[in-house]
Amino acid sequence: MENNNKNNPLGDFTQRAQQAVAMAQQLAGKLGHDCLGTEHVAVAILRLDAGVVSEYLKKKNVEAEQVCRAI
């Protein structure tokens, strides 16, 4: 599916995915990081506490604050 909305590069993402990216961007900013990385997205996914990825990480005893401290 091609994104026809040039003003919103996340337009093809689900609402939850857009929330995760927005949360990840905020976290990266709070930590003083110039780049948005997978570690920021992982924390956001865990904090949203929904979806298959979040469930999998929690089963592996991965917690949002644990990941956040590591970055």
Give CA torsion, residues 61, 63, 69, 71, to 10 deg.
90
pTM: 0.70
Instruction: Give the residue numbers spanning the domain of 36.
Output: 15-70
Q: Specify if 30 maps to a domain.
A: yes
The band of 4, judged by pLDDT with boundaries at 50, 70 and 90, is: low
Q: Specify if 53 maps to a domain.
A: yes
CATH at residue 57: 1.10.1780.10
The band of 67, judged by pLDDT with boundaries at 50, 70 and 90, is: confident
Structural domain count of the chain: 1
> Mind listing the pLDDT tens digit for each residue in 7-59?
777 778 889 889 999 999 999 999 999 999 999 998 898 888 778 888 888 88
Contact 40/71 with Cβ under 8 angstroms?
yes
